[in-house]
Amino acid sequence: MSPSLMSSKQVVVVTGANSGVGLSIAQRLISKSIEKQRPLTLVMACRNLKKGKQAIDQICSTYPLSSQSICDVDLVEIDTSSVESVLNAAKEIQSRYSRLDRLFCNAGAMAIESLDFVGIFRGLLTHPIAFFESSEAMVQRRGLVTTDGLGLTFQTNVFGHYLLVHKLESLMEATGGARVIWTGSSASQLEFTRTDYQHVLGDKPYESSKYIVDQISVPMDQRLSQRGIRCFVAEPGNVCSNFLSGLNLLWLQVLIYLVFYFCRVVLGMARFTISPQSGCEACCYLSDADGNKELLDSRLKYYSQVSRWGKPSVAAVPLALNKNLSVFLVNKLDGLVQRFDKDDNQ
């Protein structure tokens, strides 16, 4: 491959790219690259390198790639629940690439302990549709803290990515026109509290973490845009993901599939995207859209949705922002960056 083609290749990093929405984003980007003959280096940033290699093999079996291909796929190890891992990944990305066009902050975790059968019964009786749009049925583990002393879900879903963005800002600024795209959640408005903003003691750490993503996205965009970088939030909709795989309840997964299809096909509820391939629509739209022509707005949350029969589309809805809370959260996150980023403190 010629040096000019290598230097013109877009470089895109996707965290959590070995499964679910992250893998679908990766597959879609490769497909678009080949279709439009647009040079691309896709960096799959994964916690589990074995699973990351399996995901790359899956991509290569669908889209045969070679040294002469217009696109290629690389693998970087990152565990967003570890400051050391994030800093090492950032250094590796900075050393291997001369540009960074897109950073998908997609990796996420929900530590499920069990099912709340009383809550399931109550939800089905009182608000069945809203119940299946939420995570009410799941009892999440409380009190989980990382080796860095932070809430596990908070660090995995929020701070690990926030630190990664901070470390890669200069690379994205040098590229010009770069974008940071967060994977959000419709469940993000539940259970947040300032006094336990990392939600170590609360019942809904996953929802709290996604609420934080919503609140910090606009101030992040305002700050990053001064360096030529934009920041947005995409919502995959209701996707049948692997969150429940640890419970080994096949009957529950089948039930969820059936209910989701009922909500979409019979009730016409567009947010039941079901498959990761449909769920990644908003993320890929934000990556590919012409910001000048389509007037992308960080104050909007971009939702993946589908027709009854699965045709994907994107809808934009204003974020429910609390400006005072946004300032509070950004200050907290910046304080953590100063605490953990030794390079900035030297």
* pLDDT per position as a tens digit, 121-138: 787 788 777 777 677 778
With a pLDDT cut of 90, the percent of the chain lying above it is 68
CA 315 from centroid of its chain's CA atoms: 18
Nearest to 108 by CA among 237, 242, 202: 242
Per-residue pLDDT band for 4 (boundaries 50, 70, 90) equals: very low
The tally of domains found in the chain comes to: 1
Phi, psi of 283 (to 5 degrees): -60, -45
Name the E strands within 106-229: 112-115, 138-140, 179-183
With a pLDDT cut of 70, the percent of the chain lying above it is 91
Q: What is the largest CA-CA distance in the chain?
A: 63
Distance CA 82, CA 104 (A): 18
Distance CA 260, CA 310 (A): 12
Q: Is the pLDDT of residue 266 over 60?
A: yes
Distance CA 323, CA 216 (A): 9
Q: In the prediction, which pLDDT does 13 show? A: 98
Distance CA 151, CA 81 (A): 9
The partner residues of 43 in beta bridges, in order of sequence, read 13, 74
Per residue in 270-305, pLDDT tens? 999 999 999 999 999 999 998 665 689 999 999 999
Phi, psi of 232 (to 5 degrees): -140, 165
44: its two tokens:
């799959």
Per-residue pLDDT band for 116 (boundaries 50, 70, 90) equals: confident
Q: In the prediction, which pLDDT does 43 show? A: 98
Distance CA 240, CA 244 (A): 9
Q: What is the CATH number of the domain that holds 272?
A: 3.40.50.720
Tell me which residue range forms the domain holding 336. Answer: 3-345
Q: In the prediction, which pLDDT does 128 show? A: 74
Q: Measured between alpha carbons, how far apart are the two ends of the chain, in Å?
A: 40
Q: In the prediction, which pLDDT does 346 show? A: 52
Per residue in 159-202, pLDDT tens? 999 999 999 999 999 999 999 999 998 765 667 889 999 999 99
Distance CA 246, CA 110 (A): 11
Neighbours of 152 (CB within 10 A): 22
Residue 292 three-state SS: helix
